């Protein structure tokens, strides 16, 4: 329901970013339904998985070098607070998601009510790191006050992102100052990107078990 509400913002002729994850999945399905009914859009995807789903749904993808700035991106979140600060990257696509969101006029989030928290941190913060010296990078991150676990596949091998990097899942429990943590992570060599999306989301559609969809808005919107 939240995804359907978000997709109402998609209009003919728009340039759209397609997010990654369990909630963005439903938005892609709905957009595909509209495309098959005659909606004309240009689209880019934030992961190989979303690219595959988009193609299956009949959504034509436009090469990045030809699309320019996006009108909006619809994506999910692993956590969000009432200030629309997000933790993303549970699906491993945080770098491509952040690049796409940065180049979008609006970032629209879809999530269920369990993703809404008063304080970020219960969900481990994903940080994408380069394979070289992964131990050093992990140790530097741990000095910020967390426990780091490199993400692994079901078979036990280290998980690789679509960009060939590793994901360090950082267990903080409570992130009392996301803005400060964002700066600290960005200063660590070996960190490619982190899953804190601060000041980027414009709207969030939250699906509740009651059947209602609650809307969170960035201040001033």
Here the CATH number for the domain that contains residue 23 is 3.40.50.1360
- The pLDDT, as a whole number, for residue 219 is 79
Q: Flag whether pLDDT at 180 surpasses 90.
A: yes
- Cα distances (angstroms) measured from residue 184 to each of 21, 33, 77, 160: 27, 43, 22, 24
**Total domains, the chain:** 2
Which residues have a Cβ under 8 Å from the Cβ of 219 and sit 6 or more positions away? Answer: 83
- Same-domain pairing of 177 and 203: no
Confirm if 8 and 33 have CB atoms less than 8 A apart: no
- Same-domain pairing of 83 and 112: yes
- Same-domain pairing of 104 and 209: yes
- Cα distances (angstroms) measured from residue 114 to each of 6, 110, 146, 209: 18, 12, 23, 10
- The pLDDT, as a whole number, for residue 221 is 59
- Same-domain pairing of 149 and 209: no
CATH code assigned at 151: 3.30.70.260
- Same-domain pairing of 129 and 83: no
Q: Flag whether pLDDT at 220 surpasses 90.
A: no
- Same-domain pairing of 112 and 213: yes
- Same-domain pairing of 39 and 105: yes
- Same-domain pairing of 14 and 106: yes
Which residues have a Cβ under 8 Å from the Cβ of 18 and sit 6 or more positions away? Answer: 24, 27, 28, 31, 43, 44, 45, 46, 50, 54, 59, 73, 74
- The pLDDT, as a whole number, for residue 171 is 98
Would you call 97 a catalytic residue per the annotation?
A: yes
- The pLDDT, as a whole number, for residue 203 is 97
According to DSSP, the β-strands at 125-129 and 191-194 are: antiparallel
User: In this structure, what are the phi and psi dihedrals at residue 139, rounded to the nearest 5 degrees?
Assistant: -65, -40
- Same-domain pairing of 143 and 203: no
Mean predicted confidence (pLDDT) in 15-40: 96
> What's the start-to-end Cα distance of the chain, in Å?
22
Domain enclosing residue 61, as ranges: 2-116+198-217
Q: What is the pLDDT of residues 192-216, one digit of tens each?
A: 999 999 999 999 999 999 999 999 9
Q: What is the pLDDT of residues 153-175, one digit of tens each?
A: 998 999 999 999 999 999 999 99
Q: Say what the pTM is.
A: 0.95
Among the ranges given (19-23, 83-87, 165-169, 179-183), the one the predictor scored with the smallest mean pLDDT: 19-23
Buried b (16+ CB within 10 A) or exposed e, 192-201: bbbbbbeebb
The residue from 51, 79, 97, 128 that is catalytic is 97
- Same-domain pairing of 72 and 137: no
Mean predicted confidence (pLDDT) in 113-140: 97
- Same-domain pairing of 133 and 91: no
Q: Which two tokens stand for residue 167?
A: 């994901």
Q: What is the pLDDT of residues 47-82, one digit of tens each?
A: 999 999 999 999 999 999 999 999 999 999 999 999
How far apart CA 26 and CA 40 sit, in angstroms, is: 19
- Same-domain pairing of 29 and 97: yes
């Amino acid at each position: 329901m939240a995804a359907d509400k978000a997709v109402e913002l998609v209009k003919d002729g728009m340039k759209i970013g397609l997010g990654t994850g369990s909630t963005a999945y439903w938005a892609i399905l709905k957009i595909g339904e509209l495309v098959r009914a005659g909606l004309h859009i240009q689209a880019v995807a934030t992961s190989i998985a979303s690219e595959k789903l988009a193609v299956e749904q009949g959504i034509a993808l436009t090469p990045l070098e030809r699309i320019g700035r996006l009108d909006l991106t619809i994506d999910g979140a692993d956590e969000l607070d009432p200030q629309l600060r997000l933790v993303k990257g549970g699906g491993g696509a945080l770098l491509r998601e952040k690049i796409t969101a940065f180049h979008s006029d609006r970032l629209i989030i879809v999530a269920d009510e369990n993703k809404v928290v008063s304080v970020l941190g219960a969900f481990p913060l994903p940080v994408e790191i380069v394979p070289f010296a992964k131990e050093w990078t992990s140790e530097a991150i741990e000095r910020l006050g967390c426990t780091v676990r490199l993400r692994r596949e079901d078979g036990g091998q280290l998980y690789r992102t679509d960009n060939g990097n590793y994901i360090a899942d950082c267990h903080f429990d409570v992130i009392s100052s996301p803005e400060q943590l964002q700066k600290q992570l960005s200063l660590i060599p070996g960190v490619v990107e982190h899953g804190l999306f601060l000041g980027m989301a414009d709207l969030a559609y939250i699906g509740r078990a009651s059947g209602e969809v609650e809307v969170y808005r960035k201040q001033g919107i």
